Amino acid sequence: MKIFIEKEQKNEIIFFEGKAKDLLKKLKIDVNTVLVVQNGELITEDDIIKDKDEIKILSVISGG
């Protein structure tokens, strides 16, 4: 799965299938601080991600 983590401006390829919240847990990212975008669409933390998906993890904390 292709994944882009905006806060770190980092692209990664990892294997993952499961709920978005479990992906965030695996990546040690606080669910309150990000939005998850699956193939260009905003999804909830309970939605299922498949390994073929393209995922963006967008930081909700802008500014200082």
Choose, by CB under 8 A, the member of 6, 10, 11, 18 that binds another protein: 6
Provide φ and ψ at 22, rounded to 5°.
-75, -30
Q: Tell me which residues in 31-60 interact with another protein (CB under 8 A).
A: 32-33, 35, 37, 41-47, 58-60
Question: Does 11 participate in binding another protein (rule CB under 8 A)?
Answer: no
CA quadruple 17, 47, 2, 33: dihedral positive or negative? negative
The span from the CA of 63 to the CA of 31, in Å, is 19
Which residues sit at the interface with another protein, rule CB under 8 A? Answer: 6-7, 30, 32-33, 35, 37, 41-47, 58-64
